[in-house]
Amino acid sequence: MTRIHHVFDGESLTIAHVAALAAGPARCDLSAEAWSRVKRGRAIVERAAASGEAIYGATTGVGSQKDFTVRPERIAGFNRRMILAEATDLPGETFAAAVLRAALVVRINAMATGALGVSHDLVRRNLLLLAANDLPRVRAGASFGISDLGPLAQLSLPLVGDDPKIGGALALKEACSLINNNSVALGHAALVIEAARRLIEAFDLAAAISLEGFGGNLAPYGDGGAGAVAHSGHAASRRAIGAALEGSTLWHGNRTRLLQDPLSFRFAAPVNGAVREMLALVARVVEAEINTGVDNPVVDLDAERLRTGVAMDSTLLTLGFDGLRQALTRMAELSTERANKLQWSQFSGLRVGLAAADGPEGGVQTLLLNHLAAARLGAMRALAGPVLLDYRGLLGDGIEDTGTLAPLAIGQTERALEIGWVLAGLEASIAVWAIARRGIPGSALGTAVHGVYEAVRPLLPIDAEGDAVFDAGAAIGAFRRTVV
């Protein structure tokens, strides 16, 4: 019996489901109730067409051509030409296969609501495409945020191709339904959210390692959390940092050096927690939208009629990702400050640059890491600017007079995450260096911190600075693999 990876019901798809199904070809099905909704939705579309009702994108053109009628005998050709025209290729980056599968997952779930009014056959063909090993090339940077028309048309090319299992003619309204939604942006968003969750965990862990290397005061990370604002994100990061330090002698004040650490050490939990809060907000937006039937027109199953659809507006999605990038950058800024303070003798009590001895070459290696971090942080800050107000086009003879650039907001967040991994890894590497300089035994470290120390320490050129080119990427990679 063929294993079914997921059953779509149009209402309970989660970000975790999207990420799991995007990992590779997946054989899926719809629930019996969802198949029933598909049948009902299609019947409503066909009754409307039979009554002579004008149906946007089905019996009429689209955009500025909405006032032109499509004759019944030309519908199949009209549908095919719509997909091929919207699939116009423009040089640029292409989406990873995981993003394309995530987009298919979101689109199929939207079909399962019955609100798109597509046929049983088109749903089946989309399920077969999700299970296929090969997917078409789809360009990124081709959507302005009000329906992913171009990317979805390119993703739909196999559906109008020559493969007898997947390809074929599209019925009335189906071309519009395939492309008139935000499935690519939402699928991509789900994957970026999953990646962001892991990066926050990495920055929590890096902060814990820095506290060990600094000889920090753990009072802000105790169970009581006295004086903390009651935000769940703050509490989660405080618990994560505290858990990474479980077993550390810092809890007993044996190595604590200062009554008040710099703010970057004391504020790790509230700042990282703020990122958690922003991420939770964005996740709520995405999970609501991936369980919505987005199309124009959309089928109202209760009223048994077609209505003008507006759910393709992605203002809230873009706002969320703009805010998330700013929060991620704030978290990275504190990380680089902690790394700097670890090498600043008046704060750390160690030699400048974590040098073994005073001299003209002392600390050159770790001080250079700060230069590299400053360059990457600058790039991350550049990505953090909001994109919501950047749309300037008046497309389709002025019909499409607003846009959100949601795909750009999501893509820039993904790029910021990769920079974030570099900065978190640099902080962890410098903190491990500081632990080594202090000669702290493994038994005095928190259990999780000790695990990172054992993985990263052999990859650092401590006492061999400048003897060979230092591959900082190897140390960052080792740190990344320790993050659960």
Task: Report whether pLDDT(230) > 80.
Answer: no
Please indicate, yes or no, whether residues 152 and 237 belong to a single structural domain of this protein: no
Q: What is the pLDDT of residue 394?
A: 64
Is residue 81 assigned to a domain?
yes
Is residue 114 assigned to a domain?
yes
Task: Report whether pLDDT(227) > 70.
Answer: no
**Which of the listed residues 181, 213, 232 is the one where a domain comes to its end?**
181
Q: Give this prediction's pTM.
A: 0.96
Please indicate, yes or no, whether residues 170 and 218 belong to a single structural domain of this protein: no
- Region 44-49: mean pLDDT is 95
**Which of the listed residues 181, 200, 222 is the one where a domain comes to its end?**
181
Task: Report whether pLDDT(143) > 80.
Answer: yes
Please indicate, yes or no, whether residues 276 and 349 belong to a single structural domain of this protein: yes
* Whole-number percent of the chain with pLDDT over 90: 82
Please indicate, yes or no, whether residues 392 and 284 belong to a single structural domain of this protein: yes
pLDDT tens, residue by residue, 163-197: 999 999 999 999 999 999 999 999 999 999 999 99
Please indicate, yes or no, whether residues 445 and 297 belong to a single structural domain of this protein: yes
Is residue 398 assigned to a domain?
yes
Please indicate, yes or no, whether residues 146 and 240 belong to a single structural domain of this protein: no
Is residue 204 assigned to a domain?
yes
Is residue 1 assigned to a domain?
no
**Domains contained in the chain, number:** 2
Is residue 225 assigned to a domain?
yes
| pLDDT band, residue 366 (cuts 50/70/90) | confident
- Region 400-417: mean pLDDT is 94
Is residue 43 assigned to a domain?
yes
* Cα dihedral across residues 316, 321, 322, 328: positive or negative: positive
Please indicate, yes or no, whether residues 396 and 249 belong to a single structural domain of this protein: yes
Q: Which of 109-118, 150-159, 249-258 has the lowest mean pLDDT?
A: 249-258
pLDDT tens, residue by residue, 310-345: 999 999 999 999 999 999 999 999 999 999 999 999
Is residue 149 assigned to a domain?
yes
Please indicate, yes or no, whether residues 196 and 132 belong to a single structural domain of this protein: no
Please indicate, yes or no, whether residues 157 and 201 belong to a single structural domain of this protein: no
Q: What is the pLDDT of residue 69?
A: 76
The 3 state secondary structure assigned to the chain is CCCCCEEECCCCCCHHHHHHHCCCCCCEEECHHHHHHHHHHHHHHHHHHHCCCCCCCCCECCHHHCCCECCHHHHHHHHHHHHHHHCCCCCCCECCHHHHHHHHHHHHHHHCCCCCCCCHHHHHHHHHHHCCCCCCCCECCCCCCCCCHHHHHHHCHHHHCCCCCCCCCCCCCHHHHHHCCCHHHHHHHHHHHHHHHHHHHHHHHHHHHHHHHHCCCCHHHCCCCCCCCCCHHHHHHHHHHHHHCCCCHHHHCCCCCCCCCCHHHHCHHHHHHHHHHHHHHHHHHHHHHCCCCCCCCEEECCCCEEECCCCCCCHHHHHHHHHHHHHHHHHHHHHHHHHHHHCCHHHHCCCHHHCCCCCCCCCHHHHHHHHHHHHHHHHHHHHHCCCHHHCCCCECCCCECCCCCHHHHHHHHHHHHHHHHHHHHHHHHHHHHHHHHHCCCHHHCCHHHHHHHHHHHHHCCCCCCCCCCCCHHHHHHHHHHHCC
Task: Report whether pLDDT(226) > 60.
Answer: no
Please indicate, yes or no, whether residues 454 and 389 belong to a single structural domain of this protein: yes
| pLDDT band, residue 395 (cuts 50/70/90) | low
Task: Report whether pLDDT(220) > 70.
Answer: yes
**Which of the listed residues 181, 209, 228 is the one where a domain comes to its end?**
181
Please indicate, yes or no, whether residues 236 and 170 belong to a single structural domain of this protein: no
Task: Report whether pLDDT(380) > 70.
Answer: yes
Please indicate, yes or no, whether residues 39 and 141 belong to a single structural domain of this protein: yes
336: domain CATH number is: 1.20.200.10
CB 333 within 8 A of CB 427: no
Residue range(s) defining the domain that contains residue 331: 190-482
96: domain CATH number is: 1.10.275.10
Tokens at 87, concatenated: 């699939």
Closest CA relative to residue 371, chosen from 434, 426, 429: 426
- Region 84-90: mean pLDDT is 95
CA dist 341 and 344 (Å) reads 5
CA-based R_g, the chain, Å: 27
